[in-house]
Structure formats: structure tokens, C-alpha cells
Amino acid sequence: MKDILGIHHVTAIASNPQKNIDFYSSLLGLRLVKLTVNFDDPTTYHLYYGDEIGHPGTILTFFPWQDAPKGVHGTSQVIATSFLIPENATGYWTERLKKHHVAFQGPIARFDEQVIAFHDPDGLALELVAHKSAREREDRVWKQGPVPAEQTIRGFYSVTLSEEGYERTASVLTDKLGFSLLREENGRFRYTISGEGASSIVDLLCLPYSKRGRIGIGTVHHVAWRTPTDPQQEELRKSIVKAGLNATPVIDRKYFHSVYFREPGGILFEIATEPPGFMIDEKKEELGTHLVLPTWLETERNNLERVLPPVKVGEKLVVGRLGV
């Protein structure tokens, strides 16, 4: 039985929450599956995007820290988050990006893929990768969004990690998380957990003379790897601690359980369980349509809705002074 099944989610830092919702939901066509708050900082939103129900492997999340400094891209960071699209969808997406005045590069060839590279409004590096594995997720697409179902994003394809020296990070991926080296091209080392396919790939870029990145708006906060059960997560945690890495205790994030640690290059990793998922507190048709709070914050709802910035989902004001 495999302990790690691939990417669970990626969490990044944004500035304005409404700008973030408009880009990822209205332009990229991802479903906002959960509108909640940062459990460690409840006056900040935590926005979750994904497929129809936010399956693990499709979840991109954001902390909109409006007063945070701009991040600096460099080593010891996730420097690209890559979405999976159907093989015949590159033309649709280049036209859509042009229509919305989003600058992009590509499609360019990488290994045997076609890649479109661009940035979100805060400078977060994104990619669309056309690959045959998109067919694996045809039955999970969000069909009520602005993008035709046959062209939709199908969750993650990969993440790219930038390291000054990649060997120690590679050792954690292979020895502790179960990845294996698939191929190498121009200093890009590709690792996979279950064969080349949806959300199973990590690229390591070895950049020995580059400057170290700095976290802030437009950068990735952490990448989470998914594991099926709590017992498997605990075994992984023990293995990580035994390797001399400082792992947190298990933390209940309501929609999954989490263990955090920094790999030797400095990137924050998380091990996240697949259950319980986002329908633990909302029905499928209600996902992302109102502010959801954990039980221990419900008594603070009125105050939080006063201090959180107003946001609309579609044309509906979900949180804000006019909605209280």
C-alpha cells in the first residue's frame, strides 16, 4: 500500500480576495469549494478552489494577506504550480488568456508535453500542461463554471521546486515520500509517485547560483502531499522525525488532517489526509456559496463578517457590510 498518492493541495499568498476569486473562478473556471477563514488567523480568509467537490489533487488555496510584502521568487520555493488540461485544449486556453489580457508564453515543449506559462494578478507562477492523463478526470469537472466542460482544468499536473542543491530534497522525496526519478532534462529532474499522470509529478530545478526566494504575496506558502488514512499519516510522520526533520503534531484542519515539516532545502511540506473532505459541512450544491466557520468561531461570526473584506461569488455578495 502506498502512503503518498501525489499532490493534495497547494497553498499560496494573495493580496485582494475579490481579485483572487475573479481570476481563479471567473477566468480559470475553478470552483470555489470553500469560503472560510485561516484557522490560525481568523481575520484572514482561506479560499479553496478545486473541481466539482474539491477532490484531493485539485485543490489550490489562498491566504489573502493584503498588507503583506510582495514575495521574491528564487530558490527554496515552489516556483511553478502546473494545472492539467486536455491535450486538445491549448488553443482554447491561449485564446481565453488573450481575451482576458493575461500575458503568457507558449505553448512550449517540455519533455513530451505542451506547456502554457503565465502569472496570476499577484505574480504567482502558473502553468497549463496538456497531457493525456486529463482523461482520468473527465467525470469530475465543474460543469457550471464559465469554461466548457471539455476544456476545463483537471486539477494539478505537477509542482516545480527550485533548489540551490537538489540532492537532499530529492532524498526526502524518494526515501521518505516514495517518489522515484523518472527523467532529467536541462537541470530539471522529474520525480513521480505513481507513473506520469494527474497530480503525481514533482520537478526539481537545480539552480546553484540563484538567490533564495522570500515568502510574500505571489508566492507559494506550502505544498501538501496526500495520504489515504490517519494511521498512514502517523507512520509517515514517524519516518520523517526519525530522519531528523522537525515535524509538527497532527493538526485538525476540519477538511483534512495535517502534519507540517520543512524539507532540507527550506520548502514547507505538508502531509494531508484525503478524508473527510469539503462536504463535511456543506452540501455539494452549496459549496463555496457562503462563509463557513469552524464551530469554535461561530460565536465570532458577526464580528468577523464586519472586519473581513466584502466578497462576491458571481453576482452574490457573500460576505460584507451590506450582507450582514
What pLDDT does residue 321 have?
Answer: 53
**pTM score of the predicted model:** 0.95
Domains and CATH numbers, the chain: 6-280 (3.10.180.10)
What pLDDT does residue 112 have?
Answer: 87
pLDDT digits (tens, 9 = 90+) for 226-280: 999 999 999 999 999 999 999 999 999 999 999 999 999 999 999 999 999 999 9
Q: Mention every residue, 6+ apart, whose C-beta is less than 8 A from residue 324.
A: 302, 305, 306
What pLDDT does residue 110 have?
Answer: 93
Q: Tell me what the pLDDT averaged over the chain comes to.
A: 94
pLDDT band at 324 (very low <50, low <70, confident <90, very high): very low
pLDDT band at 317 (very low <50, low <70, confident <90, very high): confident
Query: Which of 81, 83, 39, 28 lies closest to 63, judged by CA?
Result: 39
Whether the Cβ atoms of residue 160 and residue 80 lie closer than 8 Å to each other: yes
| Residue count (the chain) | 324
pLDDT band at 2 (very low <50, low <70, confident <90, very high): low
What pLDDT does residue 137 have?
Answer: 87
Q: What percent of the chain has pLDDT over 90?
A: 87
**DSSP per-residue codes, 122-184:** T--EEEEEE-GGGGGGGGG--TTSSS-GGG---SEEEEEEEESS-HHHHHIIIIIS--EEEEE
pLDDT at 165 over 90: no
What pLDDT does residue 322 have?
Answer: 44
Q: Are strands 77-85 and 156-163 parallel, antiparallel or unpaired?
A: antiparallel
pLDDT at 302 over 90: yes
Quick one: average pLDDT of 16-36? 97
